[in-house]
Amino acid sequence: MSLQRRIRRSAWLVLAPFFVFGLAFEIIPVLTLVRSSFSGEGGWTLANFGRAFTPAMVNSFRNSLQLSATTALLGVVGGTVVGYAIVTARSRFVRDALTALADVTANFGGAPLAFAFIVTLGSTGVVTLLLKAAGVSLYPSFRIYSVSGLTIAYVYFQLPLMILLIVPALLGLRREWREAATNLGATRAQYWLRVALPILAPSLLGSFLLLFANAFGAYATAWTLTGPDVNLVTVQIAALVRGEVQLDPALADALALVSLGVMAVCVLGYRWLATRPWRAVP
């Protein structure tokens, strides 16, 4: 073996602890789930996936997909509008303060957030009482401990994340493009539909996928707010982990693998859209 190659080999050795750690606590646990969900008594099988799709599980997937799509869409639309309002605000203080607010609140989530919404929109919540005084009764038609309550709580962490994701793309919209469009006789609507949105499209789609994954994998907020009442994929998997349901390991693993597939599509799609070079003008 040449000396140079030996040096190159030993250079890889320095990285060994990191890769051993990653294999041990990240890759092998996932591969364990893959193997167990595809194996049955007679070797490889797809039977576990068939058993995983009981009505309750199908329902949990429907709820999770619906909740993720709704909150991702609300996050993308709301975050883009607010993000555009932030980057075009004239006062530097307003821009800095609101970006900082998005930065801070994007890290809020889980149990404290769920609880904050109970205090705000619960049956005796602050906003509930205020609206009641103004003659609007939220309850009993609305409940914070429901899918619609969860939607509001999820939007709370989706919105600031979207703002952080989209602001760089919005800053990339050149003033000259708008002026050129206006000079050529385009209305504001035409400018947005024909110029700005097509340029923003990859960022919007990528952000949607990331927000979708963000909601799909979430558990703590849902568990604190609604417990087992709202049937989500993560709630089902957690119940199987804790052994609250008749333990069927292969079934839990199959369920976990399907949700991993959903997450993988989102994250890979996001990466592809984020790293692909896009031409602004076709």
Partner 1 sequence: MRGRVLWRAVALALFLAFMLVPLLATVLFSVSTRWDRTIWPEGFTLRWWQAVTARSAFQDTLLNSLAVAAATVAVSVALVTPTAYWAHLRVPRAKPWIEFLAIVPFGLPGVVLALGLIRFYSGVPLPLINRPAILVAAYVVLTLPFMYRPLVNALEAVDARTLTEAAQSLGAGSWQTLLRAILPNILPGVVNGSLLVFSTVFAEFTLANLLIGTRFKTFPIYLVEFTRFDARQASALAVISFVVAWLASVLIIWLAGRGDRPRETLAAR
Residue 72 engages partner 1 in binding (rule: CB under 8 A):
no
Residue 40 engages partner 1 in binding (rule: CB under 8 A):
no
Region binding partner 1 by CB under 8 A among candidate stretches 39-47, 66-74, 101-109, 194-202:
101-109
Binding residue count for partner 1, defined by CB under 8 A: 85
Residue 120: closest CA among 108, 214, 112, 235: 112
Residue 115 engages partner 1 in binding (rule: CB under 8 A):
yes
Region binding partner 1 by CB under 8 A among candidate stretches 27-35, 55-63, 173-181, 194-202:
27-35
C-alpha 152/C-alpha 74 separation (Å) is 10
Region binding partner 1 by CB under 8 A among candidate stretches 38-46, 92-100, 164-172, 199-207:
92-100
Of residues 247 and 280, the one with the C-beta less far from partner 1: 247
Positions 245 through 274 that interact with partner 1 (CB under 8 A): 249, 252-253, 256, 259-260, 263-264, 266-268, 271
Residue 89 engages partner 1 in binding (rule: CB under 8 A):
yes
Q: How far is the CB of 58 from partner 1 (least distance, A)?
A: 18
C-alpha 8/C-alpha 211 separation (Å) is 41
Residue 140 engages partner 1 in binding (rule: CB under 8 A):
no
Among 46, 56, 127, 197, binds partner 1 (CB under 8 A): 127
Residue 120 engages partner 1 in binding (rule: CB under 8 A):
yes
Of residues 14 and 281, the one with the C-beta less far from partner 1: 14
Residue 105 engages partner 1 in binding (rule: CB under 8 A):
yes
C-alpha 246/C-alpha 66 separation (Å) is 27
Locus of tokens 């073996």: 1
Q: How far is the CB of 266 from partner 1 (least distance, A)?
A: 7
Cis (ω within 30 of 0) for the bond into 140? yes
CB count within 10 Å of CB 95 equals: 16
Is residue 236 classed exposed, middle or buried when 0-12, 13-18 and 19+ CB atoms within 10 A define those classes? buried
Tally DSSP H helices, then E strands, for the chain.
15, 2
Residue 28 engages partner 1 in binding (rule: CB under 8 A):
yes
Q: 2: part of which helix (H) or strand (E)?
A: none
Instruction: Spell 97-108 as b/e; 16+ CB within 10 A means b.
Output: ebbeebeebbee
Residue 168 engages partner 1 in binding (rule: CB under 8 A):
no
Residue 139 engages partner 1 in binding (rule: CB under 8 A):
no
Q: What angle do CA 212, 215, 221 make, to 5 degrees?
A: 170
Residue 117 engages partner 1 in binding (rule: CB under 8 A):
yes
Among 158, 216, 226, 230, binds partner 1 (CB under 8 A): 216
Residue 119 engages partner 1 in binding (rule: CB under 8 A):
yes
C-alpha 227/C-alpha 256 separation (Å) is 19
